[in-house]
Structure 1
């Protein structure tokens, strides 16, 4: 059946509810309008494509078997698309303006083309944005994820919240905590600014955020086992909060509180710039190959952490601030408002790091910390270590001019573990 127009004040448009697998039925390029029951209803063996269904009193397109439904437009119906969970395939259908856009059960292959929100995803599916989607009312969740194995692809578009900073919770994408296997990628989450609102809140297992921008929300991202190539900028509170996850290749810029915060995780290859509190705040985790600059308090702060290959400069407090049981190596702290490297507790090892032009180069408020092979220069106070720490500090001997192939002098010690001030 193709290339037709159907309308029926009483009854359905097209129905093949006794078809079987192998029927090879085809319904395409048909307009069904103003029917009292179903627009199109099929069972097994059909392909329904490029049809336009509007004003059906019951379901726009209903599938009870393993048929294929693709590239259709359905609007103004009681229910847009319905599947019975017997292996039907749904792809690229534009469904909007219905009382309920979707009614599926697990077992169908569901590839949605989202064209309006709010929407609840209650089945394993892939959902791709047809364009920028927005809500105007505070207290609204844009997309509620209440199923396992859901992928949301913004396809370069934006998910736009109501914008008001009021006490009605609005969340752009909200995954229930008992769900798993969520992927969100390729777009911008903006304007979810109500008190305690989140751009994305996803505390289930197996969550991936990739190639996303969270801008001008209350919180940017909460959750994510992996956060890859994402940006959190100009959010009212913290840009990214990740527990027991990995943050890679991300930037957190000009957020009101911390740029990136969490515990039991890894932050690698990230930038944290101009945030109101700490650039990166991480306990019981690792911060590797990062730039932290111009943050209001500390560049990196944490305890029981490994910090390696980090450049911390122009932060208002300490460049790198740790409490106890941490290791810092191969880092540089430059022109921070307090200490380049600050230790508040015990059991910390700092090695092969350099402090330059800070208020204090290296500081340790307690005993039982180890300093190996560090250098410091041009700080108001180069070293401020409490008694009981371990490390040889040597004022380096400057050399005269060196021209040619040899010259100079020993820096003042041949001890391979010495720390030098110059």
Structure 2
């Protein structure tokens, strides 16, 4: 009998617990049926909260006498459709600092007699443009420096510039250009100011230099092909790394004083593959089939105190040419050039005609290359 009482109490407690849980669940599901005091207001996010950026259009960014659209306040802006230019006007003018423009994959297309595609009309900082195309403008496609005044701290990313009569892209000091393609622009394809970094870009068939960098600038993982002047050009203290420059009408890679060119390929360029202008380094590059005309070379060394090391120069008019003394030239190889070496007096340069061995297979064979000097250059 006592056990039956315990069992009944347990059943009763379990039933009360289930009823309480059910009641709690119902209370959680049901909200207050009485509205709060005060005026009724929306509970959903506003359009500004969903898309905080500003669309570029005639209502939000009205133009003026020189521009179709004008950005006058800092903030984030975006394009909603292809934009078409007019004679005598630029496409988008930016008259503020700290502006980001997302082209959203659309194109800004110029017209005969038009001005700039995207233009900064005075000294401005921190302009970012990305993700679209700027084509067929009467002057530059993208110009963020207001003529000769250099705006700073700009970024252009993933922009295709084509068939503009001036430069494709032009930015000022301390700026970044990346993942861009410049095709068939009238002057320089891509141009960066002092200390600018240009990476993963391509310039083809420009009317002048393919890619140009200012003093202290860096180019890396870029390609230049079939441009009407030099393929890649930097001013003093430039750095060119892991780039290709092919079939340009000037030098493949032309650098100013105190610069470095490393791990690049220069082939088929009309004058020289690589041109050094004093106190510079060319390290571990390949130069082939350059110097069709003139006094160029696979690598042309001028002024003084250049270091040329570990390069392979083949099938050029001249392999390596030093027009002055005072250079250190080591561990390079030349083969199949019309003239393999043309070295002026007073240079540190030992050239050995490499000994060629007979065929062999297995674990040993061949002959010494002809020198035990670790800095020797070889003709083979």
Do the two structures share a fold, i.e. TM-score over 0.5? yes
Q: 1:70 deviation in Å? A: 7.6
Residues in 2 aligned to 1:415 and 1:154: alpha-carbon distance in whole angstroms: 58
TM value normalised by structure 2: 0.80
Give the equivalent residue in structure 2 for 1:62. Answer: none
Asked if structure 1 preserves the Cα contact closer than 8 Å seen for 2:61 and 2:69, the reply is no
| 1:370 aligns with one of 311, 328, 342 | 328
Asked if structure 1 preserves the Cα contact closer than 8 Å seen for 2:192 and 2:212, the reply is yes
Runs (4+) off by over 2 Å: 22-26, 45-49, 68-71, 90-96
Bigger relative contact order (CA 8 A; separation at least 6): 2
Give the equivalent residue in structure 2 for 1:328. Answer: 282
Cα-to-partner distance string for 1:45-68 (whole Å, 9 max, x where unaligned): 99876xxxxxxxxxxxxxxxxxx5
Give the equivalent residue in structure 2 for 1:290. Answer: 243
Give the equivalent residue in structure 1 for 2:97. Answer: 148
Q: Tell me which protein shows more strand as a share of its residues.
A: 1
Give the equivalent residue in structure 1 for 2:134. Answer: 189
Q: 1:189/1:361 Cα in 2 relative to 1: closer, same or farther (>3 Å)? A: same
Give the equivalent residue in structure 2 for 1:17. Answer: none
Residues in 2 aligned to 1:95 and 1:25: alpha-carbon distance in whole angstroms: 30
1:265 equivalent in alignment to 2:204: no
Q: 1:94/1:388 Cα in 2 relative to 1: closer, same or farther (>3 Å)? A: closer
Q: What residue ranges of structure 1 are gaps of 5+ in the alignment?
A: 1-21, 27-44, 50-67, 72-89, 104-116
Asked if structure 1 preserves the Cα contact closer than 8 Å seen for 2:269 and 2:290, the reply is yes
Residues in 2 aligned to 1:216 and 1:411: alpha-carbon distance in whole angstroms: 52
Asked if structure 2 preserves the Cα contact closer than 8 Å seen for 1:213 and 1:232, the reply is yes
SS in 2 for 1:136: coil
1:234 equivalent in alignment to 2:157: no
Give the equivalent residue in structure 2 for 1:200. Answer: 142
Asked if structure 1 preserves the Cα contact closer than 8 Å seen for 2:71 and 2:96, the reply is yes
Asked if structure 1 preserves the Cα contact closer than 8 Å seen for 2:95 and 2:122, the reply is no
Residues in 2 aligned to 1:269 and 1:250: alpha-carbon distance in whole angstroms: 7
1:160 equivalent in alignment to 2:109: yes
Give the equivalent residue in structure 1 for 2:254. Answer: 301
Give the equivalent residue in structure 2 for 1:276. Answer: 228
Q: What is the RMSD computed on CA atoms of the aligned residues?
A: 2.2
Residues in 1 aligned to 2:280 and 2:89: alpha-carbon distance in whole angstroms: 42
Give the equivalent residue in structure 2 for 1:38. Answer: none
SS in 1 for 2:264: strand
Cα-to-partner distance string for 1:81-108 (whole Å, 9 max, x where unaligned): xxxxxxxxx6566854x5xx458xxxxx
Q: 1:126 deviation in Å? A: 1.2
| 1:311 aligns with one of 265, 270, 282 | 265
Residues in 2 aligned to 1:377 and 1:134: alpha-carbon distance in whole angstroms: 53
SS in 1 for 2:131: strand
Cα-to-partner distance string for 1:329-384 (whole Å, 9 max, x where unaligned): 00010001241000121110000001000000000111101101000000000000
Give the equivalent residue in structure 2 for 1:255. Answer: 206
